[in-house]
């Protein structure tokens, strides 16, 4: 898979201590913000792979709608269960825009 960065969203559009879903190349990404820290997470819950799209986003956390596992939007860590972290995509900020690479972190990048 090639490593390519593309614009996901303008930085100012991402709510502080919150997040929103953005579709890029037919992939839904949860982009979250904590100060200058930006993260991009995959839509699949790391528990059983169900969609997190209708999960509750509140106060820097995402709660899965299926089994109520809670995840920190700061680092994707699961807060109330033994479960892998949310899948993250590499993101960076360039000229007040959030750029994303759709290769999940941890996968081999060419
Ligand atoms: S599928 Fe998300 S907590 Fe079980």
Give the span between the Cα atoms of 31 and 43, in whole angstroms.
Answer: 10
pTM across the whole model: 0.90
Just give the CATH number of 6-100: 2.102.10.10
Confirm or reject: Cβ of 69 under 6 Å from ligand 1. Answer: yes
Residue 38 to residues 49, 70, 93, Cα–Cα distance (Å): 23, 19, 8
Token duo for residue 28:
């839904």
Token duo for residue 43:
């839509």
Closest ligand 1 atom number to CA of residue 48: 1
pLDDT one digit per residue (tens) for the chain, 110 residues: 556 999 999 999 999 989 999 999 999 999 999 888 999 999 999 999 999 999 999 999 999 999 999 999 999 999 999 999 999 999 999 999 999 999 877 665 44
Q: What is the Å distance from ligand 1's center to 93 Cα?
A: 30
């Amino acid at each position: 898979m090639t490593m390519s960065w593309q614009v996901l969203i303008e930085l100012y559009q991402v709510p502080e201590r919150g997040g929103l879903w953005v579709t890029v190349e037919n992939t839904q990404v949860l982009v979250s913000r904590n100060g200058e820290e930006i993260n991009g997470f995959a839509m699949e819950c790391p528990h059983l792979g169900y969609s997190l799209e209708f999960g509750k986003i509140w106060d820097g956390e995402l709660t899965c709608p299926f089994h109520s596992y809670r995840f920190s939007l700061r680092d994707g860590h699961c807060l109330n269960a033994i479960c892998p972290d949310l899948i993250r995509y590499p993101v960076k900020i360039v000229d007040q825009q959030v750029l994303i690479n759709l290769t999940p972190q941890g996968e081999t990048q060419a």
